Structure 1
């Protein structure tokens, strides 16, 4: 079996490693346009902020290690065309300029995603940077050192993590986003308000509900950022406005969502039976709604890549879908979410109910007890749990992993109220806040007094 793999970050590395172990007789060739593999982009802000001092820890394998498994590694090779009828690949050696032709029996597309770069005047200035791969991280570190003011455009996870890194490095920071609040894709307003208050208390300028219209500069560098409402002086700009799937090679050749994300079945097979896909280039089945959605997370990518290997010869192991579970640590606050929030449900026109618990993470008689805000979203008709969010200075984020399992298994809020959780004063309350949410959601409605 001759297998070609295009791209080798999270999904690609997982696929290649597992295919090589499961099918040692297979002829596997990897095409990668960079000179590294498996960069953990979710650790980019930690690297930029100096928390991770040795960047080698951000790579969980290397081209050499994959080659030792018998894999042919064609690094610095850019695939330029795929002919799905003849099952051939054309690639360009970016070092020598040589054109390479190859064939495959099975093709694995793990081309990932790329930062969105809006058509903004001045976006090509030398100090308007992207934040995705290892080379970009090193450029950010190099250009940040001498500057005083940094502007971050985009208030998602990577954007706010970079804001923290720059602020802790003593920089003046402005955060701009077109939405009316930060992290709006992951958390409801009562949660993001807590985080925004923490940011502004540290002198970070929040410019929400604003769209960047142009960058003004001189000498090849941006010096001022203009939005549709105001403008800001700056020495450096980091663009973090989101990602789009890298799927131009298969456009018109396999089924895709409107944004270009490749549709795969439960066995990671595309509409072409000889092509498998995984990771940020794909849509995934979102369990709270049952629809295919674009959710570019490293966790989804490694699971999907592993499933490609298990199913590439025969469909054996089904993908059980995702809840889009994610977490974040920011300025001492621990927050996480899974499934639908009230905000995302509204955008999808899904009717939900929710309950919120305010408590401390452990009993008041303990020396310290941090406040916890925990919210559960559920279907008002079936009472099936659809989402959860949590925030605290205590690390209670594993509760969201528990809630992810609840959503995936179809648990109701009534069942959540009586799940068997341990109690120990060092860790939690006699009634765990997850139980409390279930009990509160299941309270019968009392008839109005006459």
Structure 2
């Protein structure tokens, strides 16, 4: 069997490793435009702000690793066209400009994503940077030592982390987003407000609800970002606006989401035979809504890459779907979430009920304890949990994993309120804070039933 893997970051890396592990006698050809693979871009802000021990450890695999496993590695090779009918690809060597054709039996499209770069005047200035790959990471790391100020556009996870990183370094920092609230796509308003206060308390200027209209290079080497409401000037600007699937070359030949992400089934098949896809190029099955969505997370890419390998010979393992579980730490405060927020549900037109609850994570008789602010989202008809989020100065990240399991297994608020959680004063109360949150949801739901 001859397999071609196009793109090798997370999904492609895990697909290659696991295909070769299961089929060491297969011919696996890996094509990657860059000279590196498996870069954990989620660590860029941490490296920029000098909180990474060794940047080389931000890679968990190398071309040599895959080659030793038996892969034929074509680094700095760009696949320029694919003939899915005749099962051939055209490839360009980016070093020599030479081109060649190659055949395959099965192909894996793990071409990843590209940064969203809106058509805004001045956005292609040398003073406007991106935050996506190893090249961007090196540029931002170098700039961090030279600049005194920075403007970050985009207040999602990546932009929020980068702005926090610049503030940590003592840089004059501005964070801009067209949405009215920070981390608006990940958390509801009560948690966004907590984050916003931390940013302003740490000297960050927030330009929320502001649409960027232009970037202007100034004679003194600075850049001015003009929005529909204000104007901001700094040494550099960094666009962290979002990502889109890198599928332009072939998306018209497949069933896709509106943004071009390839729709895959539960075995990672695309709409064409012998063509698989995974990671940021592909859709995911979003369990809270039961449909296909675009959620570019490394966790989704890794699992889908493994599933490609499991199913490339025959269908053996189904995709369990995703809750888009995630977490971030900003100014020493943890935020973690899984599944739907109330705001996302409203945007989708989905009827949900919600509750907010706050409790200390362990007993007040301890020498110290810390409050945890929590939200829970559920279906009012079935009482099945659809989402939850937490924030605290205490590390609550693993609680989002617990909520993820609850959503995936379609637990009800009643079941979650009675789960057998441990109690030990060092760790929690007799009623664990997640139990208390679910209990508050049950109380609210029962009160509505009795009305």
Length-normalised TM-score, structure 1: 0.98
The gaps in structure 1 that reach 5 residues or longer are: none
Partners of 1:126 and 1:221 within 8 A in 2: no
Partners of 2:113 and 2:281 within 8 A in 1: yes
Tell me the SS of whatever aligns to 1:369: coil
Q: What's the offset of the Cα at 1:53? A: 3.6
Aligned position for 2:374: 374
Matches within 5 A, 1:233-252: 233-252=233-252
In 2, Cα distance between equivalents of 1:220 and 1:83: 51
Tell me the SS of whatever aligns to 1:335: strand
Partners of 2:218 and 2:224 within 8 A in 1: no
Aligned position for 1:45: 45
The gaps in structure 2 that reach 5 residues or longer are: none
Aligned position for 2:153: 153
Aligned position for 2:417: 417
Aligned position for 1:32: 32
In 1, Cα distance between equivalents of 2:240 and 2:448: 48
Aligned position for 1:177: 177
In 2, Cα distance between equivalents of 1:287 and 1:47: 33
Matches within 5 A, 1:111-190: 111-190=111-190
Q: What's the offset of the Cα at 1:249? A: 2.3
In 1, Cα distance between equivalents of 2:227 and 2:441: 43
Matches within 5 A, 1:189-338: 189-218=189-218, 223-338=223-338
Aligned position for 2:340: 340
Q: CA RMSD in A?
A: 1.3
Aligned position for 1:107: 107
Aligned position for 1:445: 447
Partners of 1:335 and 1:390 within 8 A in 2: yes
Q: What's the offset of the Cα at 1:375? A: 1.2
Tell me the SS of whatever aligns to 2:249: helix
Partners of 2:251 and 2:262 within 8 A in 1: no
**When the two structures are aligned, how many residues end up with a matched partner?**
449
**How big is each residue's C-alpha offset from its partner over 1:19-39, in whole Å with a ceiling of 9 and x where there is no partner?**
011000110000000000100
Tell me the SS of whatever aligns to 2:447: coil
In 2, Cα distance between equivalents of 1:290 and 1:446: 26
In 1, Cα distance between equivalents of 2:167 and 2:261: 35
Distance 1:232 1:413, change over 3 A: same
Partners of 1:122 and 1:222 within 8 A in 2: no
Q: What's the offset of the Cα at 1:246? A: 0.4
Tell me the SS of whatever aligns to 2:253: coil
In 2, Cα distance between equivalents of 1:278 and 1:447: 43
In 1, Cα distance between equivalents of 2:53 and 2:435: 41
Tell me the SS of whatever aligns to 1:445: helix
Distance 1:446 1:383, change over 3 A: closer
Q: What's the offset of the Cα at 1:143? A: 2.1
In 2, Cα distance between equivalents of 1:384 and 1:78: 46
Length-normalised TM-score, structure 2: 0.98
Q: What's the offset of the Cα at 1:250? A: 1.8
Q: What's the offset of the Cα at 1:58? A: 0.5
In 1, Cα distance between equivalents of 2:397 and 2:125: 39
In 1, Cα distance between equivalents of 2:291 and 2:220: 45
**How big is each residue's C-alpha offset from its partner over 1:125-172, in whole Å with a ceiling of 9 and x where there is no partner?**
111011000111001112232111100000010101101111111110
Q: What's the offset of the Cα at 1:218? A: 3.9
Tell me the SS of whatever aligns to 1:138: helix
In 1, Cα distance between equivalents of 2:149 and 2:45: 17
Distance 1:28 1:221, change over 3 A: farther
Tell me the SS of whatever aligns to 1:252: helix
In 1, Cα distance between equivalents of 2:45 and 2:218: 28
Distance 1:31 1:84, change over 3 A: same
